[in-house]
Copies of this chain bind each other. A is one copy, B any other.
């Protein structure tokens, strides 16, 4: 942005020049199978030019020009559409209609798809496209890119990646202390949920009573795409520090003491694969793997974070009219909290909950337990986006067919846990016989399956907020 306009102009000209050279022309329909592949160098040029752009804004600019300038030829589409319509009216024989439709289909393929296709055949080409899509998504988030053309290009990329990263081509790999350091370093770095502090920390997470699995693509073994951490326990965990902080027994595992698998972290290691259905499939696959290793394992559940709850709650507190009766707290709760915090509760709570110190006050922790459990239950169960759960972790597990099973108070007392979700965590439980039914029901009728505990909390919330 601080670059002089002249230099920027030069770069833009170089981009246009590159794209003109690198993006293969679309052969006419008749020759589509007889056209030799573009020279290797042609597409490799694009890869190295792109790799040479260091700033995300520059990459975004190039992607924008590619999306805008090398998409579908709308004239062609219109022409072929008209052809199809005309044939349809003439009720010609099937062969003619089918060919016209195929021409139309061909016309609807954006020209940049040819570039992506040929790049994918280069050494490391697919990996390059994954990174390119990660850049694209980042640029969308940063608002460096927007508009229908770029969304179309994202759709094209996502659909290509979905074909390549289809479940038939994924390998499940287990991580242990015998895995290459390279792999353990990658696993550590991609752990987004409960960050890995040091090497002893990761050694523990791959040691006894723990499992760590990832999917890799069969063409790039030892390269994690999506990672799942599991704790093997005797009951459904209600506290994450018990899993990631305390030393597990040094003794070898006693298989008989294991009845429960807790999925306590799932992370996408390749941001460019967002939206490609990997996590759901990984959980299914790991459940099968664990059932083979532990035939008597019966209970499967997540112990999941609730990102966004604190933020949502602060929003609720803000939107309450001062001096009006609170809809968030009962009268007695409000009194107790006012006493403890010594001020108008909406305001003081906003200050408290913006920090994490409150979690060290036994009294506050006790006083907030009931209202926050209730509010959080509502946040997870009642707040929606296009009819589905607003909270993305909830939405993920509910799509998989899990049940919203138990809210856990003070389940994550880490700084991150307290500040992002007031220390609350939730178990999504997988009843294997019913996940398919629940999944269909959630996706179809948008119905959330929840336990008694959760439903009780929700109805308490509803009762209170109606006052």
Chain A interface residues toward B at CB < 8 A:
34-36, 39, 72, 74, 77-78, 81-82, 84-85, 88, 94-95, 97-99, 101-102, 104-105, 108, 120-123, 125-126, 147-149, 152, 155, 160, 163-164, 166-169, 171, 177-182, 184-185, 199, 203, 217-219, 222, 399, 436, 439-440, 443-444
Contact = CB atoms under 8 A, between A and B. Distances in A.
Contact of A72 (B101, B168, B180): B101
A362 to B, nearest CB: 38
Nearest to A83: B81
A138 to B, nearest CB: 21
Given A177-B182, A181-B178, A443-B36, A85 B78 contact: yes
A247 B387 CA distance: 54
Contacts of A203: 181
A180 B178 contact: yes
Among A36, A39, A439, max chain B CB count under 10 A is at: A36
| Interface pairs A-B: 9 shortest CB-CB | A218-B218, A81-B81, A95-B148, A218-B219, A178-B180, A98-B148, A105-B108, A121-B167, A163-B163
Contacts of A439: 36
A120 B168 contact: yes
Given A102-B152, A160-B163, A178-B222, 13 more contacts: A36-B436, A39-B436, A74-B101, A77-B84, A85-B85, A104-B108, A125-B168, A169-B219, A177-B181, A177-B185, A178-B182, A181-B184, A217-B218
Contact of A199 (B147, B152, B199): B199
A320 to B, nearest CB: 34
Given A180-B177, A218-B169, A78 B72 contact: no
A108 B98 contact: no
A444 B36 CA distance: 8
A341 to B, nearest CB: 43
A158 to B, nearest CB: 10
A326 B147 CA distance: 72
Contacts of A218: 169, 217-219
Among A147, A182, A203, max chain B CB count under 10 A is at: A182
Given A120-B166, A219-B218, A78 B84 contact: yes
Given A121-B166, A219-B169, A149 B98 contact: yes
B148 A99 contact: yes
Nearest to A399: B36
Among A81, A167, A171, max chain B CB count under 10 A is at: A81
Nearest to A88: B78
A97 to B, nearest CB: 7
A177 B185 CA distance: 10
Given A147-B94, A181-B203, A104 B81 contact: yes
Contact of A101 (B97, B108, B125, B169): B108
A250 to B, nearest CB: 15
A108 B102 CA distance: 8
Nearest to A400: B36
A329 B121 CA distance: 50
A105 B108 CA distance: 7
A72 B168 CA distance: 26
Nearest to A37: B277
Nearest to A129: B168
